[in-house]
Amino acid sequence: MERLLQVVVEFHYSNLRFKLMKGWIIVIALLLSACGGKDLNALNMGDVIVAFGDSLTAGYGVSEDKAYPAVLSELTGFEVINAGISGETTEEGLQRLESVLDKENPALLILFEGGNDILQNKSLDQAKANLDAMISIAKEKNIQVVLVGVPLKQVFSSTAAFYNELSEEHDLPIEAKVVASLLRKPAMKSDSVHFNVAGYRELATAIAAMLREAGALD
């Protein structure tokens, strides 16, 4: 009889644990669903992508056909406009973004700027505010936005925190690893802060993967 009671009790608690575990699985799934809002609408044939930024977008150190926007176009099959200007800060980018968007009418904006703010020791809070304003301009025009993060000047630095903050605040996909990784690889660079042909191709490949993961590409 005692053995029977023990079996019944063990079954009861085992069943209770299973129900509790099942409940937690459902809760976790719902939370993940609520947090997973960084998906993009799939791009359609004929849609244009604008790659906006500074010298790392312009392709400093290589010919324009080897810059990351040209390689990204090759990888995705979509037209990618190279709207990069070497030396540009976020303040300057903010001043010209709207005219670029009005001219090109893109479905997607790749916002990859802030490196010169960091190199010139400008206020990171102001850089974040400028990027925040750029994101808002694009959103008001119903243009999807993704971010590419830039590291701080410190050795082995990861992407500056304000990029991830903007990603969370605006619910945007972000490529937050590739630039920091490439800057630590001399074989991928043409000088201390710019990439060579192989580096820009790896950058484009990482951005294409991010766009695919977010749902913009098949």
Mind listing the pLDDT tens digit for each residue in 94-122?
Answer: 999 999 999 999 999 999 999 999 999 99
pLDDT at 25: 42
Helix H or strand E encompassing 198: helix 197-214
Mind listing the pLDDT tens digit for each residue in 140-188?
Answer: 999 999 999 999 998 778 999 999 999 999 999 999 999 999 999 999 9
- 40 token code pair: 């993009």
52: pLDDT strictly greater than 70:
yes
pLDDT at 4: 44
- 64 token code pair: 């324009």
Distances (CA, A) of 180 to 74, 117, 124, 149, 153: 24, 16, 17, 8, 10
pLDDT at 10: 52
Give the residues across from 53 on adjacent strands: 84, 112
Q: Which is nearest to 214 in space by CA: 186, 185, 184, 172?
A: 172
- 33 token code pair: 């669903």
Domain boundary assignment for the chain: 1-36, 48-213
Q: Provide, rounded to the nearest whole percent, the portion of the chain with pLDDT above 90.
A: 80
Mind listing the pLDDT tens digit for each residue in 77-95?
Answer: 999 999 999 999 999 999 9
Q: Rounded to whole angstroms, how far apart are CA atoms 209 and 215?
A: 10
Look at domain 48-213 and name its CATH class.
alpha beta
9: pLDDT strictly greater than 90:
no
Cβ(121)–Cβ(93) below 8 Å: no
pTM of the model: 0.83
Q: How confident is the model at residue 19 (pLDDT cuts 50, 70, 90)?
A: very low
pLDDT at 66: 98
Cβ(111)–Cβ(148) below 8 Å: yes
No. of helices (H) and no. of strands (E), the chain: 9, 5
What radius of gyration do the chain's Cα atoms show?
A: 23
